[in-house]
Amino acid sequence: MNLCMIGTGYVGLVSGVCFSDLGNNVICVDKDLEKIKKLKKGKIPIYEPGLEELVLKNHKNKRLNFSTDLHNSIKKSDIIFICVGTPTKRGGSSADLSQIYNVAQQISKSINKYKIVVTKSTVPVTTGDAIEKILTKNNLKKKFTVVSNPEFLREGEAIRDFTYPDRIVIGSNDKKSNKILKNLYSPLISKGAQYVHTSRRAAELIKYASNAFLATKITFINEIANLCEKIGVNVEDISIGMGLDKRIGGRFLRAGPAYGGSCFPKDTKAIINTADKYKTKLTVIKSVVKSNKNRSNILLKRVYKILNNKVKNKKICFLGVTFKANTDDMRDSSSLTMIPILSKKGAKIRYYDPTGYKKEFKGLKNVFYENTVKDAIERSDLVIIHTEWNDFKSINFKNFIKGKKFIIYDMRNIYDPSKIKKQGFKYFSVGR
């Protein structure tokens, strides 16, 4: 099929590339000329394992193209995927839909034959209705269908998540578009993905409800971890013991720092905002947002306690500063809360991240990037493992002792406490 992906961010680029790998002709469109030029040369704007190889392969075999020409790309395509960003509105909590509506206006002027217009961006319920209205203005004969097809891929695991999804959700109010989209996804359905057809509004809400639920699961186990620390129980035993119940499930029950990233923080706020509009109280999600906001303070208090409340001039090393491993994304990472506070309190911070220097810490007093794990760790008083990169999973800490032994605070529970303690290190982790 001929597909057009509008927006070459995470969702648009990854799904465009994967659709081309499944044999479709795909044009990825973006208004950012520099980005398109780079993509044509095989340079990837985001850090995503495996993506570069797939871009090169499919660009070479001419199934994958990049363009800034929205009008012609739409004309050539049967299905148009809207994959532009829906960030939180400045100073507010609702989703900023300006890019969605702008794209819809442009699509409305370029419809030359029947098109399926699909929102893959995360959009509040009823956005599909609004897009349909915009398209109808210039297309009274209605040669189009607006469909919602939320994406559930994770950064760092995006290709695997696209290729082997648990489910594919298609929200459309007609049979024709449903049949075409089911056919588009048939290679994934035949590999075991469940195909779920719902109304358009339901599909829009499934996405927000899913992200809000996952955020709730993480927050729940983080709070249980707080209790475990007080009563001397290992939170990992709790996660396993709970997770084996199929009604609960073991995934997303890893306690750690506050959840971050480009999705959970923004989507939990947006669903609350939608519910407020409909005069419905989402008290559970509201308390999740509140609890997560306070999570970094709880972890910082532990840092102060570990350092006997003497933070000034203490050398603290951060291993990993992104919101999780396998991404270069800093959006809503808990390090953005913790590092500035520690710097203000007079700590001397050195950090290492496999994805390199982060401009976000530029200008902060005594915060420096180091090029290797070794350089970041040596001569530290405290080593904080902030993300769970493989690079940090088998460090021989003994090799990095220069002078006094450092303390380790493993915020991702990577190491076995008894083994590390046997090596003579003071070791702290989360909920155990």
Burial of 212 (C-beta count, 10 Å sphere; 0-12/13-18/19+): buried
SS3 306: helix
Considering the candidates 18, 228, 263, 317, report the single residue annotated as catalytic: 263
Closest distance between ligand UGA and the C-beta of residue 217, in Å? 7
Candidates 88-96, 173-181, 250-258, 372-380; binding stretch for ligand UGA (CB under 6 A): 250-258
| Structure tokens, 117 | 């217009």
Residue from 12, 16, 85, 256 that binds ligand UGA (CB under 6 A)? 256
Q: Which of 330, 302, 331 is nearest to 316 (CA)?
A: 302
Smallest separation (angstroms) from ligand UGA to the CB of 331: 9
Q: Which residue has the tokens 């993480």?
A: 218
Q: Cα–Cα distance between 387 and 318 in angstroms, integer?
A: 9
378 near ligand UGA, judged by CB under 6 A: no
Angle at 212 between CA 207 and CA 215, to 5 degrees: 130
Alpha-carbon distance of 58 to 364, in angstroms, equals 43
CB of 179 to ligand UGA, least distance (A): 25
Nearest-approach distance from CB 412 to ligand UGA, in angstroms: 8
Residue type (1 letter), 194: Q
- Please say which residue, 70 or 203, places its beta carbon nearer to ligand UGA: 203
Q: Is 101 one of the binding residues for ligand UGA (CB under 6 A)?
A: no
Name the minimum Å distance from CB 61 to ligand UGA: 28
**Rounded least distance, CB 127 to ligand UGA, Å:** 15
For residue 122, which of 196, 211, 5, 185 has the smallest C-alpha distance? 211
Q: Which residues of 265-287 are buried (b: 16+ CB within 10 A; e: fewer)?
A: bbbbbbbbbbbeeeeeebeebee
Nearest distance from residue 218's CB to ligand UGA, in Å? Answer: 4
Cβ nearer to ligand UGA, comparing 256 with 431: 256
Segment lying near ligand UGA (by CB under 6 A), choices 19-27, 136-144, 256-264, 298-306: 256-264
Q: Which whole-number Å values give the CA distances from 271 to 123, 124, 154, 210, 263, in the listed order?
A: 10, 7, 19, 11, 12
Among 47, 101, 213, 252, binds ligand UGA (CB under 6 A): 252
Per-residue binding letters, 209-228, with ligand UGA (x by CB under 6 A): --x--x---x----------
Q: By CB under 6 A, tell whether 48 contacts ligand UGA.
A: no
Cβ at position 156, least distance to ligand UGA in Å: 7
260 is a site residue for ligand UGA (CB under 6 A): yes
Place of tokens 């129980």: 233
Which of 25, 429 has the CB closer to ligand UGA?
A: 429
For residue 12, state whether it binds ligand UGA (rule: CB under 6 A): no
Cα angle value 261/102/165 (rounded, 5°): 40
Segment near ligand UGA (CB under 6 A); pick from 82-90, 131-139, 260-268, 342-350: 260-268
Q: List all residues 6 or more positions away from 252 whose beta carbon is below 8 Å from its beta carbon.
A: 214, 217, 218
Q: Which residues contact 369 (CB under 8 A, 6 or more apart)?
A: 350, 351, 352, 353, 356, 357, 358, 361
Binding pattern to ligand UGA, positions 119-158, x when CB under 6 A? ---x----------------------------xxxxx---
Structure tokens at 242: 């709970």
Dmax over CA atoms of the chain, in Å, equals 78
Residue 331 near ligand UGA by CB under 6 A: no
Q: CB-wise, 252 or 397, nearer to ligand UGA? A: 252
Local structure of 233: helix, strand or coil = coil
Rounded to an integer, what distance in angstroms lies between the CA atom of residue 340 and that of residue 154? Answer: 27
Which span (111-119, 124-132, 255-263, 349-357) binds ligand UGA, by CB under 6 A?
255-263
Nearer to ligand UGA, 59 or 412 (CB): 412
Q: What's at 109, amino acid-wise?
A: K
Q: Does 323 bind ligand UGA (CB under 6 A)?
A: yes
Does 253 engage in binding with ligand UGA (CB under 6 A)?
yes
Q: Note if 83 is an active site residue.
A: no
> Interface with ligand UGA includes 321 (CB under 6 A)?
no
Q: Which of 19, 81, 259, 361 binds ligand UGA (CB under 6 A)?
A: 259
Q: H or E element: which one contains 427? A: strand 426-429
Answer yes or no whether residue 400 interacts with ligand UGA by CB under 6 A: no
CA 17, CA 51: separation in Å to the nearest integer? 8
Q: Are 268 and 215 in contact (CB under 8 A)?
A: yes
Residues serving a catalytic function are 263
**Residues lying near ligand UGA in the complex (CB under 6 A):** 122, 151-155, 211, 214, 218, 252-254, 256, 259-261, 263-264, 323-324
